[in-house]
A = this chain, B = another copy of it.
Amino acid sequence: MLTRKLGEIVSSAVRSGTSESAREAAKPGIIDTVATMLAGRREAPVTILLRACGALPAGAAKEVAGLSATRAAEAALINGVAAHVLDFDDVALRGHPSAVMVPAILALAAELGSSGREALDAYVVGYQVWGELVQREPGMHHIKGWHPTSVFGSVGAAAACAALLRLDAGRAAHAIGLGATQSAGLMANFGSMSKSFQAGRAAQAGVWAARLAQEGFTAGADVIEHPQGFLNAFSPAGKADTERPLADPAQGWTIAQQPVSIKKYPTCFYTHRTLDSILAARALTDIPADQVRDVQVHMSREHATVLRNHRPETGLAAKFSIEFAAASALLFGRAGLSELTDSVAQDARVQALMSRVSTVLSTDYSAEWQGAAVADWAVIHLADGRRIKTAPVTHAQGHAMRPLEKPDLDAKFGDCVRAGGAGVDADRLLGKLWRLEDEPICELWS
């Protein structure tokens, strides 16, 4: 009955809306995704896709990455890639929910003429369904090879789009099944253009799923919980829990209870605690970068495994490098879009400092964050013999437990718009996004 009950969550939200607190909690993720979409719009995976989609006709949906108009599914694909390509998008539910759902919602909402309030409700619903699925798996999808963002994203985006299309429970359940049918994406593609493609494809799949279900296309009635269905197929050890009761939205929507973490740095989230820790130390103490003899970063073995690039030579690779993070923090006092570039990664000073960074791996695990150490910090030895231990950080700035303040969010938005060179009036767009419940989606970009 799980598939059917997920369909009922959608249809119930269509009839009654979600809640004001849930919609407010959804806003930072939506705003931040628009920012990362605009920042990523000139990256190679996006420009190649734009060429490949070149023959598409004009349509009602805004294709933000290229600032031209095209059809909703393709707009969702392209903008999903743009949102995820810089690895600067938000983090939650063991993946990146907004990079998949927001492009799908904005594209379809623009085509349908939906209100901002409907778009917010759609996000809340998709997030709820995503949470219901991810919480049933005790294992690590990554280990088996699955990219959770795209695997769950296809279903979450389908649910969000089903809400926008105002599907009834039966058709919404088929949309969810059609999303599951298209769930895909492999870890082995990390470090290639296919990582962001997987997010974009999931966004596109969500639009297709809901559109087809609206037209009467069917999926299996039990496609989520069936022994040969979604949860078991993707479960590394086949131990997914299909029996656990669904959370009752009347007791609070998941987005309000487990909101997204917003990235302050365009690097793997696993580097953020170290970055905060070193940058805080640098603000308090003079640490001349050219005097650094060595740096030991203390973090968990699992996180270090993901940060596999030890001497990166491209901006993309540098995103997954604790050595780069430490070097950038010490040399420049920041690690922003202007540091995450090929030329900075290849800079002789950066390369030299990276060679002096090593890791000390901890098995003192956090109870609340799977695979993380309780805290991350660094020990820096200087040429003059000084030893600086930076303060341990448990929640990076931007973590849901330590959210960015509005000025920080707004500053990131402006940085992203400038970096992408879209020629958009950032302040005007940002103002509309903070008032999204009152803004028709198709007027967002005007």
Contact = CB atoms under 8 A, between A and B. Distances in A.
Interface of A: 44-45, 48-49, 51-52, 55-57, 59, 71, 142-146, 177-178, 180-194, 197-198, 201, 208, 211-212, 215-223, 226-230, 232-233, 238
Contacts of A223: 186, 188-189, 192, 194
Nearest to A231: B145
Residue of A48, A49, A188, A190 most packed against chain B (CB within 10 A): A188
Query: Number of copies of this chain in the oligomer?
Result: 2
A186 B185 CA distance: 14
A219 B233 contact: no
Contacts of A55: 57, 59, 71
Contacts of A232: 144-145
A219 B57 CA distance: 28
A348 B16 CA distance: 46
Contacts of A181: 184-186, 189, 194, 197-198, 201
Contacts of A51: 215
Given A145-B229, A182-B201, A189 B48 contact: no
Contact of A44 (B45, B144, B216, B219): B216
Nearest to A234: B145
Contacts of A59: 55
Contacts of A71: 55
B233 A217 contact: no
Given A146-B233, A181-B186, A227-B145, A193 B215 contact: no
A188 B145 contact: no
A143 B220 contact: no
Nearest to A227: B145
A36 B66 CA distance: 40
Contacts of A144: 228, 232-233, 238
Contacts of A198: 181
Contacts of A194: 177-178, 181, 217-220, 223
A156 to B, nearest CB: 15
A145 B215 contact: no
B186 A184 contact: no
A198 B178 CA distance: 9
Given A55-B59, A180-B186, 9 more contacts: A45-B217, A56-B57, A145-B232, A181-B185, A184-B184, A186-B226, A187-B226, A188-B228, A188-B229
Q: Which 10 A-B pairs have the closest CB atoms?
A: A145-B233, A188-B229, A187-B228, A188-B226, A145-B228, A184-B184, A194-B219, A188-B223, A192-B218, A188-B220
A174 to B, nearest CB: 8
Contacts of A56: 57
Given A55-B71, A184-B181, A217-B193, A228 B142 contact: yes
A191 B226 CA distance: 13
